[in-house]
Chains A and B, each alone.
Chain A
């Protein structure tokens, strides 16, 4: 059973456009929702994260929007650049638990 569902599987965006990746979860006990970025041949690295008591978090061009009632959260990449081309994973963690639950990933391609 997939604890975190992610969409779309792939995304192509023009340079300067907005990239939006969505995730949904079922377990209301999750306490922490990170996004990881992975470049080819590398391991994933933390990009940005949010806790459920906050509806939005922004770091530079990257924003997480969190909707607790809908059990959904999304990553918005403003002014997308070719260097943002990567695979993005959303995840969820329960502080009392030991493991992260990852989405299936989104391959983002930003066309110059």
Chain B
């Protein structure tokens, strides 16, 4: 366990509302990632960060934004939630000099 905490763990929200998911790590890892997991699609990268204030898009970034103002926190924001963003969201971290990725427990988001 790499000390990754995702919050909230479960959330139900209405279409059109903004939602922010938080990932907090205690290991001082350089890299942080946000994935979404959907049946038949596996883990798809939304955004990632390679340092404080350094972020880049993944393959499914539309409708999402991220921020990393501190090493330990990586926020994922759904600017205006849609039903297609109903999913399980995972945060992951990776220390720069190693290759293993550590995952959080996930956040189940339902957009109604």
Contact = CB atoms under 8 A, between A and B. Distances in A.
Interface of A: 6, 9, 32, 34, 36, 41-46, 49, 89, 93, 95, 98-100, 102-105
Interface residue SS majority, chain B? strand
Instruction: For chain B, give the interface size range.
Output: 20 to 34
Interface stretch (B13-21, B64-72, B77-85, B103-111): B103-111
Contacts of B31: 98
A44 B48 contact: no
A49 B99 contact: yes
Given A98-B50, A99-B33, A104-B40, 5 more contacts: A6-B42, A34-B99, A34-B101, A43-B90, A89-B42
Contacts of B56: 98
B58 interface: yes
Contacts of A49: 99-100
